Amino acid sequence: MLIDSHCHLDRLTESPSGMTIDDILQSAAAAGVGRMLTVAVDRDDILRVIGHARAHREVYAAVGIHPSTPEDAAVDADALLAAAADPRVIAIGETGLDYYYGPDTAEAQRERFAMHLRVAARAGLPVIVHTRDARDDTLALLERHADRGCAGVMHCFTESIDMARAALALGFMISFSGIVTFRSAGALREVVREVALDRLLVETDSPYLAPVPHRGRVNEPRHVVHVAQAIAAIKDITLEQVAQATTANFYRLFPRAATAERA
Ligand SMILES: [Zn+2]
Ligand SMILES: [Zn+2]
Protein backbone atom coordinates (compact mmCIF):
# COMPACT_ATOMS: atom_id res chain seq x y z
CA MET A 1 0.00 0.00 0.00
CA LEU A 2 1.08 3.55 -0.78
CA ILE A 3 0.12 6.62 1.26
CA ASP A 4 -0.22 10.09 -0.26
CA SER A 5 1.30 12.10 2.58
CA HIS A 6 0.07 15.50 1.34
CA CYS A 7 -2.99 16.41 -0.70
CA HIS A 8 -5.77 19.01 -0.67
CA LEU A 9 -8.95 16.99 -1.12
CA ASP A 10 -11.29 19.95 -0.68
CA ARG A 11 -9.52 21.84 -3.49
CA LEU A 12 -9.71 18.72 -5.63
CA THR A 13 -13.47 18.33 -5.22
CA GLU A 14 -13.87 22.02 -6.10
CA SER A 15 -11.70 21.65 -9.23
CA PRO A 16 -13.25 21.51 -12.73
CA SER A 17 -12.74 17.72 -12.65
CA GLY A 18 -16.03 17.45 -10.72
CA MET A 19 -14.66 14.50 -8.73
CA THR A 20 -16.34 13.53 -5.47
CA ILE A 21 -14.46 12.21 -2.45
CA ASP A 22 -15.81 8.74 -3.20
CA ASP A 23 -14.46 8.90 -6.79
CA ILE A 24 -11.07 9.97 -5.49
CA LEU A 25 -10.89 7.26 -2.83
CA GLN A 26 -12.06 4.52 -5.19
CA SER A 27 -9.55 5.28 -7.93
CA ALA A 28 -6.82 5.68 -5.32
CA ALA A 29 -7.61 2.27 -3.81
CA ALA A 30 -7.60 0.68 -7.28
CA ALA A 31 -4.08 2.09 -7.77
CA GLY A 32 -2.88 0.74 -4.41
CA VAL A 33 -3.07 4.10 -2.62
CA GLY A 34 -4.91 3.20 0.57
CA ARG A 35 -4.44 6.25 2.78
CA MET A 36 -3.96 9.98 2.35
CA LEU A 37 -3.34 13.05 4.45
CA THR A 38 -5.46 16.06 3.48
CA VAL A 39 -3.95 19.36 4.49
CA ALA A 40 -5.60 22.66 5.44
CA VAL A 41 -4.31 26.02 4.21
CA ASP A 42 -6.88 28.41 5.73
CA ARG A 43 -9.59 28.70 8.39
CA ASP A 44 -12.46 27.24 6.34
CA ASP A 45 -10.24 24.36 5.24
CA ILE A 46 -9.68 23.33 8.85
CA LEU A 47 -13.35 22.38 9.21
CA ARG A 48 -13.41 20.68 5.80
CA VAL A 49 -10.32 18.51 6.29
CA ILE A 50 -11.55 17.34 9.70
CA GLY A 51 -14.96 16.58 8.16
CA HIS A 52 -13.38 14.48 5.41
CA ALA A 53 -11.15 12.62 7.85
CA ARG A 54 -14.05 11.84 10.18
CA ALA A 55 -16.18 10.55 7.31
CA HIS A 56 -13.53 8.32 5.65
CA ARG A 57 -11.10 5.97 7.35
CA GLU A 58 -8.72 6.35 4.36
CA VAL A 59 -8.31 10.05 5.11
CA TYR A 60 -6.31 11.79 7.84
CA ALA A 61 -6.23 15.54 8.44
CA ALA A 62 -3.58 18.20 9.08
CA VAL A 63 -4.65 21.60 10.43
CA GLY A 64 -2.80 24.85 9.83
CA ILE A 65 -2.61 28.11 7.93
CA HIS A 66 -0.39 28.28 4.84
CA PRO A 67 2.27 31.04 4.90
CA SER A 68 0.67 32.63 1.81
CA THR A 69 -2.87 32.76 3.30
CA PRO A 70 -4.05 36.31 4.11
CA GLU A 71 -4.50 37.25 7.75
CA ASP A 72 -8.30 37.50 7.50
CA ALA A 73 -8.47 33.77 6.67
CA ALA A 74 -6.13 32.71 9.49
CA VAL A 75 -6.83 31.40 13.01
CA ASP A 76 -5.13 32.08 16.34
CA ALA A 77 -3.22 29.62 18.50
CA ASP A 78 -6.23 28.71 20.68
CA ALA A 79 -8.38 27.83 17.67
CA LEU A 80 -5.57 25.80 16.14
CA LEU A 81 -4.97 23.92 19.37
CA ALA A 82 -8.68 23.16 19.67
CA ALA A 83 -8.75 21.78 16.10
CA ALA A 84 -5.64 19.71 16.83
CA ALA A 85 -7.49 17.88 19.60
CA ASP A 86 -9.61 15.96 17.08
CA PRO A 87 -8.31 12.36 16.96
CA ARG A 88 -8.41 12.37 13.14
CA VAL A 89 -5.93 15.26 13.10
CA ILE A 90 -2.42 13.80 12.92
CA ALA A 91 -0.27 16.87 12.14
CA ILE A 92 -0.04 20.66 12.28
CA GLY A 93 0.28 22.30 8.86
CA GLU A 94 0.82 23.25 6.37
CA THR A 95 3.00 25.94 7.82
CA GLY A 96 6.38 27.41 7.02
CA LEU A 97 7.75 30.30 4.99
CA ASP A 98 7.22 31.28 1.36
CA TYR A 99 9.30 34.32 0.42
CA TYR A 100 8.81 33.56 -3.29
CA TYR A 101 5.13 34.52 -3.24
CA GLY A 102 5.24 36.78 -0.18
CA PRO A 103 8.55 38.57 0.34
CA ASP A 104 6.68 41.60 1.72
CA THR A 105 5.00 39.56 4.49
CA ALA A 106 8.18 37.80 5.69
CA GLU A 107 7.95 39.08 9.25
CA ALA A 108 4.28 38.10 9.66
CA GLN A 109 5.07 34.70 8.14
CA ARG A 110 7.81 34.08 10.69
CA GLU A 111 5.42 34.92 13.54
CA ARG A 112 2.75 32.60 12.13
CA PHE A 113 5.28 29.79 11.63
CA ALA A 114 6.56 30.16 15.21
CA MET A 115 2.96 30.04 16.49
CA HIS A 116 2.40 26.77 14.60
CA LEU A 117 5.59 25.29 16.07
CA ARG A 118 4.45 26.20 19.58
CA VAL A 119 1.00 24.68 19.00
CA ALA A 120 2.57 21.52 17.55
CA ALA A 121 4.75 21.15 20.64
CA ARG A 122 1.78 21.64 22.97
CA ALA A 123 -0.40 19.23 20.97
CA GLY A 124 2.42 16.70 20.67
CA LEU A 125 1.99 16.58 16.89
CA PRO A 126 4.53 16.77 14.05
CA VAL A 127 4.57 19.72 11.62
CA ILE A 128 4.21 19.81 7.85
CA VAL A 129 6.61 22.45 6.59
CA HIS A 130 6.33 24.36 3.33
CA THR A 131 9.47 26.32 2.45
CA ARG A 132 10.32 28.32 -0.64
CA ASP A 133 13.12 30.87 -1.03
CA ALA A 134 13.39 30.96 2.75
CA ARG A 135 16.03 28.39 3.57
CA ASP A 136 17.94 30.13 6.39
CA ASP A 137 14.90 31.49 8.22
CA THR A 138 13.07 28.15 7.99
CA LEU A 139 16.01 26.27 9.48
CA ALA A 140 16.60 28.93 12.14
CA LEU A 141 13.00 28.67 13.36
CA LEU A 142 13.06 24.87 13.34
CA GLU A 143 16.35 24.89 15.25
CA ARG A 144 14.95 27.25 17.85
CA HIS A 145 12.06 24.83 18.47
CA ALA A 146 14.14 21.65 18.17
CA ASP A 147 14.52 21.32 21.94
CA ARG A 148 10.76 20.93 22.27
CA GLY A 149 11.00 17.60 20.49
CA CYS A 150 9.65 19.12 17.29
CA ALA A 151 9.37 16.57 14.49
CA GLY A 152 7.92 16.76 11.04
CA VAL A 153 8.34 16.68 7.31
CA MET A 154 9.64 19.07 4.67
CA HIS A 155 6.84 18.73 2.17
CA CYS A 156 7.08 18.96 -1.63
CA PHE A 157 10.84 19.24 -1.28
CA THR A 158 12.57 21.19 -4.06
CA GLU A 159 15.53 22.63 -2.18
CA SER A 160 19.24 21.83 -2.28
CA ILE A 161 21.03 18.82 -0.85
CA ASP A 162 22.46 21.09 1.87
CA MET A 163 18.97 22.00 3.03
CA ALA A 164 17.95 18.33 2.95
CA ARG A 165 20.95 17.44 5.12
CA ALA A 166 20.13 20.22 7.59
CA ALA A 167 16.48 19.08 7.84
CA LEU A 168 17.49 15.45 8.28
CA ALA A 169 19.91 16.48 11.04
CA LEU A 170 16.96 18.13 12.82
CA GLY A 171 15.14 14.80 12.69
CA PHE A 172 12.82 15.74 9.84
CA MET A 173 11.66 13.53 7.00
CA ILE A 174 11.72 14.67 3.37
CA SER A 175 8.64 14.32 1.17
CA PHE A 176 8.92 14.29 -2.61
CA SER A 177 6.14 15.19 -5.05
CA GLY A 178 5.57 14.71 -8.78
CA ILE A 179 8.28 17.28 -9.42
CA VAL A 180 10.80 14.39 -9.28
CA THR A 181 9.28 13.14 -12.54
CA PHE A 182 9.84 16.44 -14.39
CA ARG A 183 12.53 16.40 -17.03
CA SER A 184 14.10 19.56 -15.59
CA ALA A 185 14.46 18.15 -12.06
CA GLY A 186 17.89 16.52 -12.36
CA ALA A 187 19.25 18.25 -9.25
CA LEU A 188 16.24 17.12 -7.20
CA ARG A 189 16.75 13.52 -8.31
CA GLU A 190 20.28 13.78 -6.88
CA VAL A 191 18.71 14.76 -3.55
CA VAL A 192 16.40 11.71 -3.75
CA ARG A 193 19.43 9.51 -4.33
CA GLU A 194 21.03 10.81 -1.14
CA VAL A 195 18.06 10.73 1.27
CA ALA A 196 17.91 7.38 3.08
CA LEU A 197 14.86 5.24 2.38
CA ASP A 198 13.82 5.35 6.04
CA ARG A 199 13.54 9.17 6.00
CA LEU A 200 11.45 9.62 2.91
CA LEU A 201 7.75 10.20 2.18
CA VAL A 202 5.80 10.52 -1.08
CA GLU A 203 3.02 12.98 -1.86
CA THR A 204 0.99 14.46 -4.69
CA ASP A 205 0.16 17.96 -3.32
CA SER A 206 -2.93 17.40 -5.49
CA PRO A 207 -4.77 19.04 -7.18
CA TYR A 208 -1.47 20.75 -8.05
CA LEU A 209 1.73 19.41 -9.60
CA ALA A 210 0.53 16.39 -11.58
CA PRO A 211 3.47 14.09 -12.30
CA VAL A 212 4.52 12.85 -15.73
CA PRO A 213 2.59 11.39 -17.64
CA HIS A 214 -0.33 13.49 -16.33
CA ARG A 215 1.51 16.80 -16.25
CA GLY A 216 -0.67 19.86 -16.78
CA ARG A 217 -3.87 18.06 -15.73
CA VAL A 218 -5.65 17.90 -12.38
CA ASN A 219 -3.60 15.83 -9.96
CA GLU A 220 -5.15 13.33 -7.54
CA PRO A 221 -3.88 10.98 -4.82
CA ARG A 222 -3.74 7.89 -7.09
CA HIS A 223 -0.92 9.57 -9.03
CA VAL A 224 1.42 9.21 -6.07
CA VAL A 225 2.26 5.88 -7.72
CA HIS A 226 4.24 7.81 -10.36
CA VAL A 227 6.21 9.59 -7.65
CA ALA A 228 7.01 6.27 -5.97
CA GLN A 229 7.98 4.73 -9.32
CA ALA A 230 10.37 7.60 -10.02
CA ILE A 231 11.99 7.15 -6.61
CA ALA A 232 12.30 3.41 -7.17
CA ALA A 233 14.05 4.05 -10.50
CA ILE A 234 16.41 6.64 -8.99
CA LYS A 235 17.36 4.35 -6.09
CA ASP A 236 17.36 1.22 -8.25
CA ILE A 237 14.92 -0.65 -5.99
CA THR A 238 11.39 -1.96 -6.52
CA LEU A 239 8.15 -0.02 -6.28
CA GLU A 240 7.13 -2.42 -3.50
CA GLN A 241 10.21 -1.48 -1.47
CA VAL A 242 9.38 2.22 -1.83
CA ALA A 243 5.76 1.54 -0.84
CA GLN A 244 6.72 -0.48 2.23
CA ALA A 245 9.32 2.02 3.42
CA THR A 246 7.29 5.20 2.88
CA THR A 247 4.19 3.68 4.49
CA ALA A 248 6.19 2.58 7.54
CA ASN A 249 7.78 6.04 7.70
CA PHE A 250 4.34 7.67 7.59
CA TYR A 251 3.09 5.73 10.61
CA ARG A 252 6.35 6.37 12.47
CA LEU A 253 6.19 10.13 11.84
CA PHE A 254 2.44 10.36 12.56
CA PRO A 255 1.81 8.12 15.59
CA ARG A 256 -1.81 9.23 15.86
CA ALA A 257 -2.46 7.57 12.49
CA ALA A 258 -0.91 4.35 13.78
CA THR A 259 -3.13 4.55 16.86
CA ALA A 260 -6.22 5.12 14.72
CA GLU A 261 -5.40 2.03 12.62
CA ARG A 262 -5.37 -0.14 15.74
CA ALA A 263 -8.70 1.20 17.00
ZN1 LIG B 1 3.02 23.61 0.27
ZN1 LIG C 1 0.10 21.66 -0.07
Tens digits of per-residue pLDDT, 119-152? Answer: 999 999 999 999 999 999 999 999 998 766 668 9
- Domain with 135, as residue range(s), is 2-262
Tell me, in angstroms, the distance from the centre of ligand 1 to residue 27's CA: 24
Tell me, in angstroms, the distance from the centre of ligand 2 to residue 40's CA: 8
What is the count of structural domains for the chain?
Answer: 1
Looking up residue 150, the CATH number of its domain turns out to be: 3.20.20.140
State pLDDT tens for residues 175-193: 999 999 999 999 999 999 9
Q: Considering every ligand atom shown, identify the ligand nearest to the alpha carbon of residue 101 and give its number.
A: 1
Q: Ligand 2 is a single-atom ion; what residues have CB below 5 A from it?
A: 205
pTM attached to this predicted model? 0.96
Higher pLDDT, 211 or 226: 226
Tell me, in angstroms, the distance from the centre of ligand 1 to residue 156's CA: 6
CA distance readout (Å), 163 to 88, 138, 173, 174: 31, 10, 12, 10
Helices (H) and strands (E) in the chain, counts: 11, 8
Tell me, in angstroms, the distance from the centre of ligand 1 to residue 21's CA: 21
